[in-house]
Amino acid sequence: MKQLVELKVNGESYETAIDPHRTLLEVLRENIGMTGSKEGCDLGACGACTVVIDGKAVLACLTLALEARGKEITTIEGLAKDGKLHPLQQNFVDHGAIQCGFCTPGVIMSAKALLDENPKPTQVEIKRGISGNLCRCTGYTKIVEAIEVTAK
Amino acid sequence: MEKYSVIGKRLPRLDSVAKVTGDAKYAGDFFLPGMLHGKILRSTVPHAKILNIDTSRAEKLPGVRAVATGKDISDIPHGFIRAAPAPFFLRDKFSLAKEKVRFIGDEIAAVAAVDEDTAMEALDLIKVDYEELPAYFSPQESMALDAVRIHDHAESNVSVVISFHLGNIEQGFAESDFVFEDNYSTQYILASYIEPHAAVADFSQSGNVTLWLSTQTPFYDRTNIAETLGIPESKVRVIKPPVGGGFGAKTETHTLFTASAVLSRKAGRPVKIIYSREEEFTSTAHRHGVTVNHKIGVKKDGTIKAVDSKFFADGGAYNSHSAISMFIMGTLQNGPYNMGSFKYEGIRVYTNKPFAGGVRGHGAIQPRFVIETMMDSISEKLDIDPIEIRKMNAVKAGQTTISKFKIRSCGHTEALDKAVEEIGWKDKWRKLPDGKGVGLASMFFASGAAFSFFYDNPPSFSGVKINAETDGNFTLFTGTSDIGQGSETTLAQIAAEELGVGLNKISVIASDTATTPLDMGSYSSRVTVFGGGAAKIAAYNMKMKLFDIAADMLEANKDDLEAKNERIYVKGTPEKSVSIADTVIGYYNKMKEHLTSSGDYNPPADVGGEMRLDLGEVNISPTFSFGTHATEVDVDKETGEVKVQKIAAAHDCGFAINPMAVEGQIEGSIQMTFGQALLEDYRMEKGWSITNSFIDYKMATSEDMPYIKPIIVESIDSEGPFGAKEASEGTNVATIPSIANAIYDAVGIRMKDLPITPEKILRALEKKEGGK
């Protein structure tokens, strides 16, 4: 039995009818049409689906869409403002922190939650902050560098 | 003044904004009107005859639109090698099983339904009757004389044997003062890209099918799909959108690619299939696990005289790259050292496990672990510095090896010197306290395979076309596949440099079999030299067409012209110039036709030739990369834990078209080999995978990774575009032995079995202490 749910994503409200077992990731991608958040494992082990809910980095594949009602959800699509990239996004571009790009949205959202809570993290804190986001392309070096530069 | 204005620069990737904003659309991000969801039914037994498949209940389930089995596909099997002569033509895989299943996870049927849940439910309703057969989970079991054959076409469970003998090893060993012999083994690992395989197929009423695939080889997929569906290749269009990593495993035409098309044809609606992470672990191509017996004969001055190498590879249930894999494991031992004489036997064996194929560093990772570890033992025994022994035996630029590799450029010595300097070798080797150590290892790698494994008569190895626009922009069409390494940007930089325009003036349209020239795909580290080579030729040809027109406009001699800053100048007369945009308009006015150019790259005449994988005397690549990793480790003698502190990774990429991208390749590729050295292990129990997720299968996180110092060495190659060579697979080949050698320096134990776990360290330490 489908249920009507209202989600607030990147400052805008979306109303959609879903089966209660649908995850936030599925609803973002399939119902709302935001495919920036990626599904890499559907098990909470890779971090590609990371979004920010009420300031915290959350795995959208382990979150039921119904649980996210009434909360502020920020996805990768919500970071750039007025055609200008968020400093994290700009530094990922400039420092070559992107290769295949599939982990990138999740990594950036984890980094955003980290910097919002701790604007001057140490390198160790940065590495811990994104340790739930697997990347097979970069060895994390340039990702950590891009986050460090953003925090400076 | 700087020599170049676009290449040699740390420029962001062309697709970087799309990738940081979530705009980039990967195959799984496509949603077409009326699209169905497909799922694959997989075998639950490791080896069996299929007696019957009853799909009737699944077909009746509301919401199911199509069910497909082996009956719905042609009798043409697929595999990576399609154009080779016997006995290397070894295609043995059907997208959906015909008669037999050969591993747990083998594909039997496919279902398309209105949603994923319905498709999953339908799978449960398909009844498969099996007649189970004995199953084999190691090459030893599988090769037993009384073993049941896994494939009827093969006389035994040996999938392929590649052997060759270069020079005279009997004489080589006779002339040796010492002979070293040892056994090694390596494990199955996974490519482990973060994007699972995805396919969207749209089979139209007119009989054409368009597919969006997460692939490294869209043109090979096109052929395999056409052959599987029994339709002409011209009816199949494969588009490769951004791909979330491939690392070799996406060179396979895995079943979802063909099954989505078969289901779409049956259902008359688009079909999407995305593999679950579990399917990635159980049913896609892995890196070969091998056991090795290796013998090296040396003079007492350290000169290598003879190598006798036997490789036993666990191939799993199907051939995939088989003959190539086994060939490379042998031939890529012939560098960076001259081996004097060389004998190799590579035996690949069928087992009832997921099949092994090509994974980053394909065929080079395993032998390099063996050779570089043995080089360390040899240098110790002969009391020769490990740096010196690696220099004295090294191949040199201008030389041809016994395997007939022509070495056009060689940064081996420079890479070695820079890596050891960076790690502080002089002050650390044999000087650090117990439990701390440094190790080094060198390597080389091919810059692209100079054989057409797949096509009998390809137009070229890589083609590029360029269109000129009247606003001074250019559109570059390439069939190469950017799977994250940044090749589209590399090609665009090469073309921009040649045309004298900025990178922002080049748009790239890539990897669409209907619109881009044929290219063989992203594998064997071929794209920079082959695709980049084609881009340079196409851009040069475009420039010449522009010069013809500009010469008239400027009343100058064509030979006196140069292109830079988006203008064409008369050399030495800067006031005489015309913009490229105006020249393009001039071309249109004069010629009354579109201004396009094309370029094709083919390896030079002294490369490639007949694909005789049994001879071992064949120049496999236009040119070769070199490199050295120097590594520092701490070994905890109480817990057996190895902590890698730093890897100094020097790589001779010829010329770095984009140094930031080259560094990224070095840093990223080491994540995989660091993992293979210490963490990653695909484990099975009676044919069942027990590492089915990133929770069980340990891949290095940001917290696990050591500090990596990438060092770019430029030897300026005579063949590669602007002197460039590969920088994507060779970059990680030396990691594992450099770690193993550092462990030896730290605690005096030789690790010969991967992965190097704390348990193995403790066991080796016990054995060493016990022996005292």
User: What is the model's pLDDT at position B767?
Assistant: 96
Identify the CA nearest to B100 among candidates B27, B40, B151, B25.
B151
**Looking at the domain covering B365-450+618-771, what would its CATH class be?**
alpha beta
Q: How far apart are CA A146 and CA A134, in angstroms?
A: 16
Looking at CA atoms only, how far is residue B25 from chain A in angstroms? 8
For A39-74, what is each residue's pLDDT tens digit? 999 999 999 999 999 999 999 999 999 999 999 999
Scanning B24-83 for CB atoms below 8 A from A yields 24-26, 28-29, 31
* Strand A56-59 with A50-53, pairing: antiparallel
Q: How far apart are CA B653 and CA B663, in angstroms?
A: 11
**Chain A residues whose beta carbon lies within 8 Å of the beta carbon of residue B669:** 139
User: What is the model's pLDDT at position B363?
Assistant: 96
How far does chain A reach from its first CA to its final CA, in angstroms? 50
**Chain B residues whose beta carbon lies within 8 Å of the beta carbon of residue A38:** 26, 194-195, 244
User: What is the model's pLDDT at position A1?
Assistant: 86
How far does chain B reach from its first CA to its final CA, in angstroms? 64
Looking at CA atoms only, how far is residue A82 from chain B in angstroms? 13
Asked, as a colleague might, if the bond just before B755 is cis with ω within 30 of 0, I would say: yes
What confidence tier does B771 reach under pLDDT thresholds 50, 70, 90? low
Please give the residue of chain B at the shortest CA–CA distance from A133: B701
What confidence tier does B612 reach under pLDDT thresholds 50, 70, 90? confident
Domain ranges across chain B: 16-22+461-601, 31-133+194-245+249-283, 365-450+618-771
Scanning B220-259 for CB atoms below 8 A from A yields 242-245, 247
CA angle B680, B683, B686 (to 5 degrees): 175
Contact B484 A99 (CB under 8 A): yes
For B83-126, what is each residue's pLDDT tens digit? 877 777 789 999 999 999 999 999 999 999 999 999 999 999 99
Asked, as a colleague might, if the bond just before B622 is cis with ω within 30 of 0, I would say: no
What confidence tier does B614 reach under pLDDT thresholds 50, 70, 90? confident
User: Is the confidence at residue B772, as pLDDT, over 70?
Assistant: no
Quickly count helices (H) and strands (E) in chain A: 5, 5
**In terms of C-beta density within 10 A (0-12 exposed, 13-18 middle, 19 or more buried), how is residue B293 classed?**
middle
User: What is the model's pLDDT at position B79?
Assistant: 87
* Strand B127-132 with B271-274, pairing: unpaired
Which tokens in the block code for residue B627? 């490199």
Mean pLDDT for B225-249 is 98
Contact B242 A96 (CB under 8 A): no
Contact A41 B669 (CB under 8 A): no
**Chain A residues whose beta carbon lies within 8 Å of the beta carbon of residue B12:** 93-94, 96
Mean pLDDT for B729-741 is 98
Cβ-proximal residues to A137 (8 Å cutoff; 6+ apart), any chain: A99, A100, A103, B245, B484, B664, B668
CA angle B652, B655, B659 (to 5 degrees): 90
Q: How far apart are CA B99 and CA B278, in angstroms?
A: 25
Q: What is the dihedral of CA B349, B353, B354, B358, to 10 degrees?
A: -30
Mean pLDDT for B358-380 is 98
**Looking at the domain covering B16-22+461-601, what would its CATH class be?**
alpha beta
- What is the percent of chain B where pLDDT is above 70? 100
What confidence tier does B51 reach under pLDDT thresholds 50, 70, 90? very high
Mean pLDDT for B59-63 is 98
User: What is the model's pLDDT at position B616?
Assistant: 85
* Strand B304-316 with B209-213, pairing: unpaired
Q: What average pLDDT does chain B have? A: 97
Please give the residue of chain B at the shortest CA–CA distance from A139: B668
Identify the CA nearest to B543 among candidates B518, B556, B528, B561.
B561
Contact B701 A131 (CB under 8 A): yes
For B674-701, what is each residue's pLDDT tens digit? 999 999 999 999 999 999 999 999 999 9
Beta bridge partners of B711: B650
Contact A96 B660 (CB under 8 A): yes
B657 conformational bin, left if phi > 0, alpha if psi -120 to 50, beta if neither: alpha
User: What is the model's pLDDT at position B86?
Assistant: 72
User: Is the confidence at residue B610, as pLDDT, over 70?
Assistant: yes
Contact A100 B660 (CB under 8 A): no
Q: How far apart are CA B673 and CA B667, in angstroms?
A: 11
Looking at CA atoms only, how far is residue B91 from chain A in angstroms? 30
For B309-352, what is each residue's pLDDT tens digit? 999 999 999 999 989 999 999 999 999 999 999 999 999 999 99
Same fold, B16-22+461-601 and B365-450+618-771: yes
Q: How far apart are CA B377 and CA B338, in angstroms?
A: 18
User: What is the model's pLDDT at position B740?
Assistant: 98
Mean pLDDT for B639-659 is 98
Scanning B374-413 for CB atoms below 8 A from A yields none
DSSP string, B410-431: --HHHHHHHHHHHHTHHHHTTT
Q: At what angle do helices B659-678 and A141-151 cross, to 10 degrees?
A: 120
User: What is the model's pLDDT at position B721?
Assistant: 98
> Which of helix, strand or coil describes residue B675?
helix
Q: How far apart are CA B94 and CA B38, in angstroms?
A: 18
* Test mutation, B19, B115, B485, B697, chain A, max A CBs within 10 A: B19
**Chain A residues whose beta carbon lies within 8 Å of the beta carbon of residue B629:** none
What confidence tier does B743 reach under pLDDT thresholds 50, 70, 90? very high
For B183-207, what is each residue's pLDDT tens digit? 999 999 999 999 999 999 999 999 9
DSSP state of B465: E
Mean pLDDT for B727-732 is 97
Q: How far apart are CA A51 and CA A76, in angstroms?
A: 7
Please give the residue of chain B at the shortest CA–CA distance from A102: B244
Which domains are seen in chain A, by residue range?
A: 3-78 (3.10.20.30), 87-151 (1.10.150.120)
* Test mutation, A28, A137, A150, chain B, max B CBs within 10 A: A137
Contact of B701 with chain A, judged by CB distance below 8 Å, is answered with yes
Please give the residue of chain B at the shortest CA–CA distance from A29: B29
Cβ-proximal residues to B434 (8 Å cutoff; 6+ apart), any chain: B637, B746, B747
**Chain B residues whose beta carbon lies within 8 Å of the beta carbon of residue A139:** 667-671, 705, 708
For B552-562, what is each residue's pLDDT tens digit? 999 999 999 99
* B298, B331 Cβ separation under 8 angstroms: no
Polymer length in residues for chain A? 152
User: Is the confidence at residue B1, as pLDDT, over 70?
Assistant: no
- CA B647 to chain CA centroid, Å, is 22
Task: Please name the member of B245, B667, B702 whose beta carbon is closest to the beta carbon of A100.
Answer: B245
Written as tens digits, the pLDDT of chain A (152 aa) is 899 999 999 999 999 999 999 999 999 999 999 999 999 999 999 999 999 999 999 999 999 999 999 999 999 999 999 999 999 999 999 999 999 999 999 999 999 999 999 999 999 999 999 999 999 999 999 999 999 999 98
User: What is the model's pLDDT at position A97?
Assistant: 98
Write b or e for each residue in B644-680: b if 16 or more Cβ atoms lie within 10 A of its Cβ, otherwise e: bebbbbbbbbbbbbbbbbbbbbbbbbbbbbbbbbbbb
User: Is the confidence at residue B259, as pLDDT, over 80?
Assistant: yes
B149-154 long-range Cβ contacts below 8 angstroms, 24+ apart: B150/B47, B150/B102, B150/B317, B150/B350, B150/B351, B150/B352, B151/B92, B151/B102, B151/B350, B153/B92, B154/B350
Contact A100 B242 (CB under 8 A): yes
Helix ranges, B129-270 (H): 139-142, 169-174, 218-229, 255-267
Q: How far apart are CA B570 and CA B552, in angstroms?
A: 12
Looking at CA atoms only, how far is residue A70 from chain B in angstroms? 24
Pick the CATH number of B31-133+194-245+249-283 from 3.50.50.60, 3.90.1170.50, 3.40.640.10, 3.40.50.720: 3.90.1170.50
For B477-504, what is each residue's pLDDT tens digit? 999 999 999 999 999 999 999 999 999 9
Contact of B414 with chain A, judged by CB distance below 8 Å, is answered with no
For B207-235, what is each residue's pLDDT tens digit? 999 999 999 999 999 999 999 999 999 99
For B417-471, what is each residue's pLDDT tens digit? 999 999 999 999 999 999 999 999 999 999 999 988 899 889 999 999 999 999 9
User: Is the confidence at residue B178, as pLDDT, over 80?
Assistant: yes
Contact of B153 with chain A, judged by CB distance below 8 Å, is answered with no
Please give the residue of chain A at the shortest CA–CA distance from B670: A139
Looking at CA atoms only, how far is residue B631 from chain A in angstroms? 16
**Chain A residues whose beta carbon lies within 8 Å of the beta carbon of residue B483:** 100
User: Is the confidence at residue B161, as pLDDT, over 80?
Assistant: yes
Looking at CA atoms only, how far is residue A60 from chain B in angstroms? 15
Contact A136 B699 (CB under 8 A): yes
